[in-house]
Every structure is written in structure tokens, then in C-alpha cells.
Amino acid sequence: METIITLLVGILVSVATYLLLSKNLIRVVLGTAILSHAVHLLLMTMGGLKIGSVPILGDQVETYTDALPQALILTAIVISFAVTAFFLVLVYRTYQSTGTDNLYELKGSKDE
Amino acid sequence: MTFIHFFILIPILTAFFIPLIGKLAPKLHLGWPALFVPVILFGFFTAQIPAISAGETISGSVVWMQALDLYFSVYLDGLSLIFTLLITGIGSLVVLYSTFYLSKERESLSHFYAYLLLFMGAMLGVVLSDNLMVLYLFWELTSISSFLLIAFWFRRKKSRYGAQKSFLITVSGGISMLVGFIMLQVMSGTNSIQEIIAMRDSLQEHELFVPALILILLGAFTKSAQFPFHIWLPDAMEAPTPVSAYLHSATMVKAGLFLVARFTPVFGGEATWFWLVSGVGIFTMFWGSFSAVKQKDLKALLAYSTISQLGLIMSLFGLGSAALQGGASTESIIYTKAIFVALFHLVNHSTFKGALFMVVGIVDHEVGTRDIRKLGGLISLMPVTFTLAVISSFSMAGLPPFNGFLSKEMFFTAALNANNLTIFSMETWGLLFPIIAWVGSIFTFAYSMIIVFRTFLGPYRRERLEKTPHEAPIGMLISPIILCVLIILLFFMPNQLSHYLLSPAMNSILPTYQNTEGLIPKISAWHGFNLELFMTAGVVVFGAFLMKTFRFWNFVYDLFPEHRSIDRGYQWVLAKSESGSKRATDLYMTGFLRHYLYYIYGFLLLLVGGTLWLTGSIVIDPSDDVPVSLYEGIIVAVMAAAAIGILFTKSRLTATLLNGVLGYSIAVFFVLFRAPDLALTQLVVETVTTVLFLLCFYHLPEWSKEERSVKVRLPKMIISIGMGALTVLLALSVQGNKMFESISSYFEDSYELAGGRNIVNAILGDFRAFDTMLEVVVLFIAGIGVYTLIKLKAPKGEDDIERE
């Protein structure tokens, strides 16, 4: 299971990287969103999968699954949401101010 | 903490308060509060004279960073005492002088005095530090404050040029000195200068000994404006005259001499040291005086004269270092005289050159020009200034009854003594020293006379001057008068100076000769009809002749083509390195995001992948994996298909929905992997994200097609597949290597530790509560960012300016 998920993470990272290298701004933002999905999955696999029960203390439970990655991922989900929201508005504003969402056209003038 | 630590820090701390005082008392000329600092320090250091001259030294140390052998340690001995007295003494006079020189209304005095005090503290730090690294720190601080002071009138282009030039040259010298210091540290294992001096004999055989010597000398030569690094000093004359008098003649440029003196016990006796210090010094002495004669600007003339005098002292330190060759002996003690003269002339030079700069400043201030061609006949209008000019420049020329005469005569003696040296192949070259010294002195005499005669005598031409000259106010005259009194006093009582100041310094420069009989020569103005006296007579005759006939021989200066000069070389290097670095930067800084990502990913792949490969840490061990059930396999397949589908879809709407598929599938995984909190959060966030994307699309055009050419797509594919593969390898290796025990069991006591049964919530809300709070701050900041980007509009017109 861990290996398969890791391979899935690899595919997601490849797709995200490919999107990040695009010249369209929306594709870049999409790339960052997919990259954060990949990272969340990766963190999850690091703690070992499906061993023990839900990390809520109960009476008849012997082992719990690793709670630390879950806490980290929870933080990461919220932060990546904030970043995605900010990126999207940044794209919107960039388009409003410059009239393009093409990164190649946003290169800036030669003598800058 | 000893009181010496405070002495170093007081000026620096006061520098911070000066602007505050300026705010509180706007009517006060800031020179007055600033004057307190050097005067008080001068008093304190004067009080140390009896103890130091009795052979004591004062040292103290404060731990800074023990692991790096960094101690803020100070050491006050005879050598540093001379310098501290110069720094605080001349400093007091210069601050007093500047109080009348700089106008309160026109100049930004809080900057000026803050910089000046900063320099004073830094310079005290240089001469008092015993730790190499701390010395280096203060050394560069003097360069910085010198930069700030030269650029004080920063609206002038020449000021900025001069400041930049001096900074570039002295700091690059300083960096090479730092490398030399590090070599010394490697050789000796300590940063303390006194400890290094103590283990001098064991260092000489080390292979780094000569490289360290050369690098440290580079620092000294750049700071003390020795040929060919002297080119910064004339341009530094753009600074206000009090600064030139203080930094660029009396103190900062002598830091190089201090360094040479301080390290003479370590490197002295080495042939490379001898030849570099004395050779560069004596040539600088000649070249400076030769170039000074042709100058038309009084301050430029003084700058070249300073270069020449620094060279003179430098060469004396070099010649004297010969005495350390082969240990101390009664035969070689005669060569120590050179070091004695060096110290003596160092003090003398500070007195007469300080006075001369102040005189030139007065002329500039009261007449409005420093151009020799316009000046003349000021004697009747400025009689006091004229007297001061005569005293100080006659002293510089080496005429009695002024202190310069004594040290100039002894300089000839030392040069003649060097002729008798039988080491370092001096049998062949030794004669050059007295000859160059003599020729240089002739030019020195000539330019000293030019200062007096061209400025104060000759025809008075009012029409060429900007304002009607008149005598300076008494406040501006006090400082040069004090210096001129010193000039005469030192002529009549040189042995008192020698007893109280020079002899303890001699003991610290030549520890092996400590208190040897004959180490301190008796200075006398009259020593019979000997060769030195005839040399002085020759200097007067030929010097006067050269000055009278300047018109007929000044063509020699045109023999050196201007465009071949060192100065042009500096400008060429500067221009070339600017254009070269611009071209190199333009080559890779394209402004296109994809290129920057290529660099980042490329390095990441190389570094991480290379490390994995080279250390052989790729371990793939799927044996501990839990089995995959069918529906899990289906979700994995769906996610992989959705991800790859995003790359091929033509519409952004489909892409966003596919991204949603990814997000919801992950939520399902979170459920499967026993993470209910994550699943809930993920569902909410994914929904809102998708809505946000759709909202954004409303305002944006449909996305354009990406480039389809192989040339663009191939590197993109290589990089992205590489990144994917690297992530997989890295993650699998982490799992396979299992190098550390998990720390998660700690959190399973969450009920006892934090009172929470939900472990994830306990971690977020208690164990890592600060982290979570700051996460909320991040959300808040992002919210402000979103709001600002949507709402904020630049006022009309400004947007265009930004985009230009």
C-alpha cells in the first residue's frame, strides 16, 4: 500500500511540476494546488498506513495510528488553501492591471 | 569589562545619541556635545602614561563567542597608547576646529558628528584590540565610517566617486588581511595577537607564513595608501577638511602603519617582509613627493604629501625590522633606530600635517578657493594663518627649529645605516635607500615651500578670488595654534616624548630587545657636521632650486601618458567589471518564471539526487507494506488518471473539476487511513477551492494553448518526470531506512498531558498551540492580501509611473 501511494505521489508531483513550468498563470496555480495534494499524501504515508485505530483515546483500543502526520497535514491543508486563494486573487489582479495572464508576456521590459 | 572596553564603546554609543541631542537642542552646534567625548578620553589615556612608561601593560577580555575563539580582548601597551593619544588628541582639536568650520545652518551636523564619533570608536578599537577577528571588525568599521564621511556632501558626484573608490580599495585590502589573519590563526591556533607574538619562532617554518605575511601587508598598504594603492587618497580629499585632517592624515591612514608595527615582532627578520615594507615604503615616499609638486589644488598637494610621508614611515618600519633577523644582538641594535624614528616621525607628522590641513581649510573657508594658481599675497590679510603655515610646512620640509627637522635627520641616519646591512642582499641594493630618501626629501622640501610661497607670498589678485579674504575667527585658529606650539615644543624637548611614549612603544614592537642598553637613542638637534646635516643642506639648496625652476622641468610629468596611469587602470577595471557583471546577469536573469524554476529544479535534482546516488542510500523495501484492497486500488487508479488527464484537457473547467476529483479522492483516503479530522477539513477546503477557481475564471479569458514544440516540451517533461522520480526515490528510501524511532507515542498520553482525548486536536491546540496560532495569523495575512488586491486601486496617474 505504502509503495503504491508513493508512486501515486510521484505521478502527482510530475504533473504539478509540469503545470508549474507552464506560461499560463492559471496552470501554475493549479500546479501548486496539485503539489500540495501530493505532499499531504506523502506525509500520510510516512507515518505508516492503516495500522492501529483512529487517534481518539478510547477504552478498548490497543494501538493508535500515527497522529503526528495528521496534525501536520491539517496545518498544511489550511495553509495551502490560504496560499491558493491568494494566488488566485493575484492572478485576477495581474490580469486586471496588465491585461494578460501569460507569463512570457509578463517578463518585463528589456532595460529593467 | 575593563575601562578600556568602555573607552572603545563610548564614542560609538555617543554616535547614536548625537541625532537625539540635535533634535532636543536645535539651537546648539552639535560640535560642542561631541567635543566632550575625545577630550574626556584624551584625559583618561593621558593618565595612563606613567603606568605604561613604567613598563606596564593593561589587558582585559570579554567572552564573545567562545567556540570560535572570539574574545573582545583589549591590550594597551606603549604602541597602542601613542595611537590612542593621537586619535583622541587630534580628534579633540579636529572637533573643535569643525565646530567653527561647518555651518550649523547649512550642513547636516548630526550625521557628521555621528559618523565622526563612530570612526573614533572604531579606530580606538583597531589599535586596542588583541583579538584578530575583533581587530578586523573595527578595521572595516573605519573603512565604512571613512566612506560615509568622504561622501558627506553626497550630492557632489566627485564625493561619491571618491567615497566609493576609497571604500573599494581599502575593503578589498581588508578582506585579504582577513585571509591573512585566518592563516595566522590556523598556524598558531589562537586569535590573540600577544599569544601569536609569543610563539613567533615556531611559526616561521610554516608554509603559510609568507602568504599570510603578504596578505596582511596588502591590508596595511591599501589602508595606508602605499603605491600602487595610493590612488584613493587624493580622491578622498572631497571630504570636508576636518575629516581630511583627522582620518586621511592623522589617524585612519596610519592604521596600516600600526598594523605593520604590531606585526613586526611576528614577521620582522623575514626577508620578504623587509623588502616589501621598506621597498614599497621608500618608493611611495619618492612617488608621493614627486607627484605632490605638480598639484594645483592645495588639498590634493597635501594628499600626495601624506602619501609620501606615510611611505617614509613605512620604509622605516621595514628597515628597522632587519634588527630582528637572527635574534637580538648588540651589533644589530643600530638598526632598531629606524623603528624609533618611525614612531617619532609618526607623532611629528600628525602634528604638522594636522596643522597644515587646518591651515588649508582656513584658506579655503575664508578665501573660497584652494587653487594655487589663484592664490597669492595673503600674508598681509591673514598673518596668523601665515605664521601657522610657515611653522607647519617648514617642519614638514625638515627645517629647524621644528620637530620635522629632528625626525628627518634621523631618517637619513636610518637610511644610511641600512646601507651597511649585510643581510637580505643589501650589499647590492643598500645604497638605493639613502639616495631615494634624499631625492624624495628634495621634492618634499619643494612642495612644502610651494604651500607657503604660492599661497601667502607673491602677487595678491583679488579679482581671481570669490570673496575678500580676512583672518579666520579665533575658534578656527585655536586647534592649529596648539599643534604648532607642539611642533616647536617637540623640537626643544624631544627626549621627554621619547621617554614617556616612544620607549614603551619600542619595547612592544621589539620585545626581544626589551630595555636593552642603547635601544632608545638620545635625540639632539645638533650633532656636529656629519653627513646627515650635509644631506639636509643639499635638500634645501636643490629643493629651492627645483621650486624656482619648476616652469622649466615640469614637462617630465607629461612623459607618463595620462591614459596609462594607475588611476585609469582602476577606472577601467571598475567599468569592465560593471559591464561584465551586467552581461553575465542578463544572460540568466531572463524575467521568465519558467527559466527560474528550471534553475531551482535543476539544482534540486542534482543535489538531492546526487547525494542519494553517491551515498548509496536508496533502499526500497516494500516488505512491511500493508496489503492493498480492491477499492483502494480503484481510487489510486482514478487519481492517477485524473492527474494525467489535467495535462491533456483543453478546457480549464475540466482541469479544475479533475483537480476536485483529486481532492475528494484524498478525502476518501483520509477516511481509510483513520484520519476523520483531515477528511472533514479536506472536503470543506476542496469545495471552497473549486468555487474560488470557478469564480476566478469568470474574470479571466479561457487559457491559451501551451507551446507544442518539442524544444519547449522536452525539458519540461524531463524536469517534471525527474522531480516525480526523485520524490518517489526519496520517500521510499526514507521508509526503507527507518533510521529513527517514531516520536508519536509521546502524544498518546495526550489526556494526561493536555486533557484531550482527540490526539490530533491536542497536538494542534496544546502541544503546538503557538504553531496553530501563527497559522491563523497566516490565514489572516492572506485574507488581508486578498482584500487589498481586490479593493486597492492606485490613485490615478501613479499606476502609469509604476509600470514605466
The DSSP letter of residue B239 is S
Give B505-562 pLDDT, tens digit per residue. Answer: 888 888 877 777 777 778 777 777 788 888 888 888 888 888 888 778 877 777 776 6
A3 to chain B, any CB pair closer than 8 A? The answer is yes
Which residues in chain A are contacts of B652 at CB distance < 8 A?
A: 26
Of A50, A64, A77, the CB nearest to B673: A50
Per the CB < 8 A criterion, the answer to whether B90 and B251 are in contact is yes
Please state whether B212 falls in left (phi above 0), alpha (psi between -120 and 50) or beta.
alpha
Pick from B745, B744, B767: which is nearest to B756 by CA?
A: B767
Q: Nearest C-alpha of chain A: how many angstroms from B801?
A: 13
A94 to chain B, any CB pair closer than 8 A? The answer is no
Residue A109 domain-assigned (yes or no): no
User: Residues B384, B520: one domain?
Assistant: yes
Contacts 24+ apart (CB under 8 A), A63-66: A64/B748, A64/B759, A65/B673, A65/B674, A65/B675, A66/B742, A66/B744
Distances from the Cα of B114 to the Cα of B18, B24, B166, B228, B252, angstroms: 6, 15, 20, 32, 17
pLDDT of residue A112: 47
Q: Round to whole Å and give the CA distance between B321 and B340.
A: 11
φ/ψ of B467, rounded to 5, equals -145, 165
Residue B726 domain-assigned (yes or no): no
Q: Nearest C-alpha of chain A: how many angstroms from B543?
A: 57
Residue A6 domain-assigned (yes or no): yes
A107 to chain B, any CB pair closer than 8 A? The answer is yes
User: Residues B204, B101: one domain?
Assistant: yes
**Among B residues 696-715, those touching chain A with beta carbons less than 8 Å apart:** 696-697, 699-701, 703-704, 706-707
Distances from the Cα of B457 to the Cα of B370, B379, B476, B695, angstroms: 15, 6, 22, 87
pLDDT of residue B589: 87
Give B72-119 pLDDT, tens digit per residue. Answer: 999 999 899 999 999 999 999 999 999 989 888 888 888 899 999 999
Domain that holds residue A16: 2-52+63-102
With pLDDT > 70 as the criterion, what percentage of chain B qualifies? Answer: 97
Helix B255-267 vs helix B298-321: crossing angle, to nearest 10: 10
User: Residues B43, B177: one domain?
Assistant: yes
Q: Round to whole Å and give the CA distance between B692 and A45.
A: 29
Residue A67 domain-assigned (yes or no): yes
pLDDT of residue A109: 62
Q: Round to whole Å and give the CA distance between B308 and B283.
A: 9
Residue B584 domain-assigned (yes or no): no
Residue B667 domain-assigned (yes or no): no
A56 to chain B, any CB pair closer than 8 A? The answer is yes
**Strand B70-76 versus strand B58-65 pairing type:** antiparallel
Residue B234 domain-assigned (yes or no): yes
Residue B358 domain-assigned (yes or no): yes
Q: What is the ipTM of this complex?
A: 0.93
User: Cell match 481510487: residue?
Assistant: B635
List the single range of A43-52, B61-70, B197-206, B394-403 with lowest mean pLDDT: A43-52
Residue A88 domain-assigned (yes or no): yes
What is the DSSP code string of B760-797?
A: HHHIIIIITHHHHHHHHHHHHHHHHHHHHHHH--PPTT
Scanning every residue of chain A, which has its alpha carbon at the shortest distance from the alpha carbon of B791?
Answer: A93
pLDDT of residue B329: 66
Which residues in chain A are contacts of B677 at CB distance < 8 A?
A: 70, 74
User: Residues B44, B119: one domain?
Assistant: yes
Per the CB < 8 A criterion, the answer to whether B61 and B105 are in contact is no
At B136, the pLDDT band (50, 70, 90 cuts) reads: very high
Of B633, B643, B678, the CB nearest to A70: B678
Checking if the pLDDT of B398 tops 90, the result is no
Q: What is the mean pLDDT of residues B447-451?
A: 89
φ/ψ of B124, rounded to 5, equals -60, -40
Q: Round to whole Å and give the CA distance between B318 and B325.
A: 12
Checking if the pLDDT of B416 tops 60, the result is yes
User: Residues B234, B295: one domain?
Assistant: no
What's the CATH code of the domain at A71? 1.10.287
What integer best gives the mean pLDDT of chain B?
87
Per the structure, how many domains does chain B have? 2
User: Residues B291, B385: one domain?
Assistant: yes
Q: Round to whole Å and give the CA distance between B241 and B259.
A: 26
User: Cell match 524544444: residue?
Assistant: B711
Domain closes at, from B529, B548, B567: B548
Give B490-515 pLDDT, tens digit per residue. Answer: 898 888 888 888 888 888 888 877 77
The C-alpha cell of B111 is what? 550625521
Three-class SS string for B410-434? HHHHHHHHHHCCCCCCHHHHCCHHH
Of B703, B742, B758, the CB nearest to A27: B703
Residue A95 domain-assigned (yes or no): yes
User: Residues B142, B277: one domain?
Assistant: no
pTM of structure: 0.79
Domain that holds residue B92: 1-210+226-245
Q: What is the mean pLDDT of residues B758-764?
A: 88
pLDDT of residue B539: 86
At A65, the pLDDT band (50, 70, 90 cuts) reads: confident
Residue A35 domain-assigned (yes or no): yes
Task: List residues bridging with B131 in a β-sheet.
Answer: B192
Pick from B88, B110, B100: which is nearest to B15 by CA?
A: B110
Scanning every residue of chain A, which has its alpha carbon at the shortest distance from the alpha carbon of B596?
Answer: A21
Residue B489 domain-assigned (yes or no): yes
φ/ψ of B295, rounded to 5, equals -70, 145
Helix B474-492 vs helix B336-367: crossing angle, to nearest 10: 160
Query: Between residues B85 and B380, which one has the greater pLDDT?
Result: B85
Which residues in chain B are contacts of A77 at CB distance < 8 A?
A: 678, 681-682, 685
Of A40, A54, A71, the CB nearest to B674: A54
List the single range of A30-44, B402-416, B515-529 with lowest mean pLDDT: B515-529
Checking if the pLDDT of B800 tops 80, the result is no
User: Residues B239, B353: one domain?
Assistant: no
Cβ neighbours, 10 Å, residue B741:
7
Pick from B521, B503, B81, B513: which is nearest to B322 by CA?
A: B513
pLDDT of residue B751: 82
At B253, the pLDDT band (50, 70, 90 cuts) reads: very high
Q: Round to whole Å and give the CA distance between B448 and B552.
A: 19
Domain closes at, from B548, B579, B607: B548
B624 to chain A, any CB pair closer than 8 A? The answer is yes
Domain closes at, from B495, B527, B548: B548
pLDDT of residue B796: 60
User: Cell match 516525480: residue?
Assistant: B724
Residue A112 exposed, middle or buried by CB count within 10 Å (0-12, 13-18, 19+): exposed
At B370, the pLDDT band (50, 70, 90 cuts) reads: confident
The C-alpha cell of B514 is what? 626589551
Task: List residues bridging with A21 in a β-sheet.
Answer: none
Task: List residues bridging with B129 in a β-sheet.
Answer: B74
pLDDT of residue B802: 47
What is the DSSP code string of B615-670?
A: HT-----GGGPPPPPHHHHHHHHHHHHHHHHHHH-S-HHHHHHHHHHHHHHHHHHH
Pick from A56, A8, A80: which is nearest to B675 by CA?
A: A56
Residue A107 domain-assigned (yes or no): no
Contact: A22, B706; criterion CB under 8 Å? yes
At B804, the pLDDT band (50, 70, 90 cuts) reads: very low
Q: What is the mean pLDDT of residues A70-93?
A: 91
Please state whether B794 falls in left (phi above 0), alpha (psi between -120 and 50) or beta.
beta
At B803, the pLDDT band (50, 70, 90 cuts) reads: very low
The DSSP letter of residue B373 is T
Per the structure, how many domains does chain A have? 1
User: Residues B189, B296: one domain?
Assistant: no
Residue A75 domain-assigned (yes or no): yes
User: Residues B275, B239: one domain?
Assistant: no
User: Residues B46, B106: one domain?
Assistant: yes
Which residues in chain A are contacts of B685 at CB distance < 8 A?
A: 77-78, 81
Checking if the pLDDT of B781 tops 90, the result is yes
Pick from B607, B446, B438, B671: which is nearest to B536 by CA?
A: B438
Checking if the pLDDT of B265 tops 60, the result is yes
